[in-house]
Structure 1
Amino acid sequence: MDLFVVPTISFRLLHGLLIMGHGRRQILWFGVTAHPTAEWIANQLTQACGWEQIPRYLVRDRDGAYGEIFVRRVRSIGIRDRPTSPRSPWQNAYAERLIGSIRRECVDHIVVFSERHLRHVLLSYMSYYNGTRPHLSLNKDAPMSRAAETAGRILCRPILGGLHHQYARI
């Protein structure tokens, strides 16, 4: 779990919340707000995990936005909270790398107008990242595994307004 900042066209700063699973580096949840509070982050975690699919532990940084309300919610759900050491982004390397990919592959190329627009862009990117984007660490597969297509004509489908493309055989 990690927070990142995205500027809008009016130079307002929006905060994105990323929750990812470490197993296959799958994006589980995106949240967007102008003012992240501990209560909002706790609600986002509850919505992402639900009460049935509870992870065993949660790796996060020591951002001041994670307040006492958040810590109490994590404990009440039954998740072991593992904050990283101060000024140690390498201890949450998967999340930091994913935020860098989101910036390089998506947000740096799109002008964001509002919270709603950023949420739509991030959900579109999540669909692309989890279902289409190849990962070298996953043997050039996507986090949500897919079958190899070996026969048929190749079609190109634009994603995120042509920023990325999905190639599929029919």
Structure 2
Amino acid sequence: MRDLFRLIGWAVVDLLRSRAALEAEIWTLRQQINVLRRTAPKRLSFSVFDRLVFVGLYRLFPKICDALAIVKPDTIVGWHRAGFRLYWRWKSRRRGGRPKVPLEIRRLIREMSIANPLWGAPRIHGELLKLGIDIGQTSVAKYMVRRRGPPSQGWNTFIRNHADGIAAMDLFVVPTISFRLLYGLLIMGHGRRKILWFGVTPHATAEWIANQLTEACGWEQVPRYLIRDRDGAYGEVFIRRLRSMGIRDRPTSPRSPWQNGFVERLIGSIRRECLDHVVVFGERHLRHVLLSYMNYYNEMRTHLSMGKDAPVPRAVERVGHINCRPVLGGLHHQYLRI
């Protein structure tokens, strides 16, 4: 600031001096500049004030570039352009505008767009308005999840929409106390993972399996699709029975038990929770044990995939004394309020 006052003072004094005196001072200053150029370092440092002075004089008198000695004209032009950018950056700074969307609402928009791939910005915007969230539709479109292709439902949604019309079946082997092998037939519905039928036989023939399917499903409420493996026990008689009942046969690929994963998982649960702890005496005993487990599985056992509910929905009991009742001889227990 002191240099600025000094410069202004010398400018006022120069207005009162003669032209000859000014010319003599200019020659003296130029000679001093020549001496400084010989002894000064190659790169000089300029303060912000120095740059403002040079740029201001350049704006008022562009021809001063001919008198520059310690700085190049291109440098002065570069300083001027940098100042121009800073000025317009300050001129176009944000002065309010649209309020920023809170982080919680942005996360909610993203979750809604992921969970509902068929919804667009107008649909999500309408839901947000019904939730009391006042936000623009363009902001909703901004924070939605971007998808490369057209929206599509997930496999879980597809299976849930078709589960009521799908049934699955499989055979499993159970040894008896006399080392005799019995075959158990399991038929379950995909809708709520409910066990529809248990069959027991020492000889699993195609005709016997067809009769078991008829008894399990009847002739009125039959599933639309039936998933099974490619066991040789499912012969021509069984396939003809499926066609006569209007059921579409869907055998899995060879050596692909994961394609019938619900039944495979259920058979594992039957072994872990029941058969591994019981010595089977015979066909009648095995049938009794499996039917007892079916009642326990369908009406009492809670399932993680069904929101901790049973295949046959259980009402929540809040009043009464809690009573414990053994199931399957004490392997499991049922808790009721009385």
Category of TM-score, reference length = shorter chain = over 0.9
Q: Does 1:133 align with 2:133?
A: no
Tell me by how many angstroms 1:9 deviates. Answer: 0.3
Tell me by how many angstroms 1:150 deviates. Answer: 1.2
Out of 28, 47, 64, the residue aligned to residue 215 of structure 2 is 47
Q: Does 1:87 align with 2:255?
A: yes
In structure 2, stretches of 5+ residues that fail to align are: 1-168
Q: Which position in structure 2 is the counterpart of 1:25?
A: 193
Q: Compare relative contact order (CA 8 Å, sep 6+) and give the higher one, 1 or 2.
A: 1
Distance in 2 (alpha carbons) for counterparts of 1:150 and 1:5: 42
Identical counterparts, % of pairs: 81
Q: Which position in structure 2 is the counterpart of 1:143?
A: 311
Tell me by how many angstroms 1:152 deviates. Answer: 1.5
In structure 1, stretches of 5+ residues that fail to align are: none
SS at match of 1:161: helix
Q: Which moved more, 1:145-154 or 1:116-125?
A: 145-154
Q: Which position in structure 1 is the counterpart of 2:58?
A: none
Per-residue CA distance 1:15-56 (angstroms, 9 max, x = gap): 000000000000000000001000000000000001011110
SS at match of 2:325: strand
Distance in 1 (alpha carbons) for counterparts of 2:271 and 2:222: 28
SS at match of 2:329: coil
Q: Which position in structure 1 is the counterpart of 2:236?
A: 68
Q: Does 1:168 align with 2:300?
A: no
Out of 178, 184, 192, the residue aligned to residue 10 of structure 1 is 178
Regions of 4+ moved over 3 Å: none
Tell me by how many angstroms 1:148 deviates. Answer: 0.4
Q: Which position in structure 2 is the counterpart of 1:118?
A: 286
Q: Which moved more, 1:145-154 or 1:7-16?
A: 145-154
Distance in 2 (alpha carbons) for counterparts of 1:126 and 1:85: 28
Q: Which position in structure 1 is the counterpart of 2:8?
A: none
Distance in 2 (alpha carbons) for counterparts of 1:49 and 1:152: 38
SS at match of 2:253: coil
**Amino acid corresponding to residue 88 of structure 1 in structure 2:** S
The normalised TM-score by structure 1 is 0.99
Per-residue CA distance 1:118-159 (angstroms, 9 max, x = gap): 000000000000000000111110000011011211110000
**Amino acid corresponding to residue 29 of structure 1 in structure 2:** W
Please provide the CA RMSD for this pair: 0.5
Q: Which position in structure 1 is the counterpart of 2:320?
A: 152
SS at match of 1:28: strand
Distance in 2 (alpha carbons) for counterparts of 1:117 and 1:53: 30
Q: Which position in structure 1 is the counterpart of 2:204?
A: 36
Which structure is higher in helix share? Answer: 2
Q: Does 1:98 align with 2:261?
A: no
Q: Does 1:78 align with 2:256?
A: no
Which structure is higher in strand share? Answer: 1
Larger Rg: 2
Distance in 2 (alpha carbons) for counterparts of 1:64 and 1:3: 11
Out of 273, 276, 286, the residue aligned to residue 108 of structure 1 is 276
